[in-house]
Amino acid sequence: MRKIMVAGNWKMHGSMSMVETLLGGVIDGLDDTMPVDVAVFPPAPYLPQVQAMANGSRVAWGGQTLNPNEQGAYTGEVSGAMLVDFGCRYVLVGHSERRTLFGESDADVAERFEAAQRDGLVPVLCIGETQAQREAGETEAVVAAQIDAVLDRCGIAAFDQALVAYEPVWAIGTGLTATPEQAQDVHAFIRDKLSALDGRIGGQIRILYGGSVKSSNAADLFARDDIDGALVGGASLTAGDFLGICRGA
């Protein structure tokens, strides 16, 4: 039985007072009627504040990206060990904004995935197709290639301590959500692909859906066999909206 996970990607939003209100509201609002694992991904400068507030609570936290090198002359970058220093359990790798705005290739993402595990973090591998790729019937080929890059570098065993987030690019921040059927189809494809290599790993790995998830569509998504939670952008920025998604579990 896979436990639902709801993860909030705050992207480059926030301030100290917003973190206080948002995270405080989430921690206070979670209750036993919500059988979910919860994680937040704040901008790196707020990690100490998040750590101080969330330590000992049900909320875990992580980085939005990491540099794969252990240390060195990489101005502006953050290493996995630095994230671990601030209590991070998770790190996003390959978010579509990293791929499109910062030029991260499938191979770059695989390198970050490997570095995350080397440094003791659980990578959340974000994958998904663009609108043009979906319309061209390439969805499965695109997500397969994104996964294959990690499999080629790290092997199937690496997926034992990882999550996958299927985020169709056309649904991120657009208000367009994949229908639960569309999402389920791709999630099943991903699970089958991993299960063909290792049935246990394929069966236990959590595959989150991301793309305009809100409290109004969360329960419908979570009801599908292979949708194990959500990676949430916009609706993770207010405690009420985020808790509404947690209630969908």
**Catalytic positions:** 95, 167
Binding to ligand PEP in span 4-63, by CB under 6 A: 9
Q: Interface with ligand PEP includes 248 (CB under 6 A)?
A: no
Nearer to ligand PEP, 123 or 234 (CB): 234
| Beta carbons of 224 and 177 less than 8 angstroms apart | no
Q: Interface with ligand PEP includes 173 (CB under 6 A)?
A: yes
- Closest distance of CB 212 from ligand PEP, Å: 4
Q: Interface with ligand PEP includes 184 (CB under 6 A)?
A: no
- Closest distance of CB 168 from ligand PEP, Å: 9
Part in contact with ligand PEP (CB under 6 A); list of ranges 62-70, 77-85, 116-124, 229-237 = 229-237
- Residue set of the binding site for substrate: 9-11, 173, 212, 233-234
Work out which of 128, 168, 211, 229 binds ligand PEP, going by CB under 6 A.
Answer: 211
- Closest distance of CB 12 from ligand PEP, Å: 11
Work out which of 129, 234, 242, 248 binds ligand PEP, going by CB under 6 A.
Answer: 234
Work out which of 22, 162, 190, 213 binds ligand PEP, going by CB under 6 A.
Answer: 213
List of residues contacting ligand PEP (CB under 6 A): 9, 167, 172-173, 210-213, 231-235
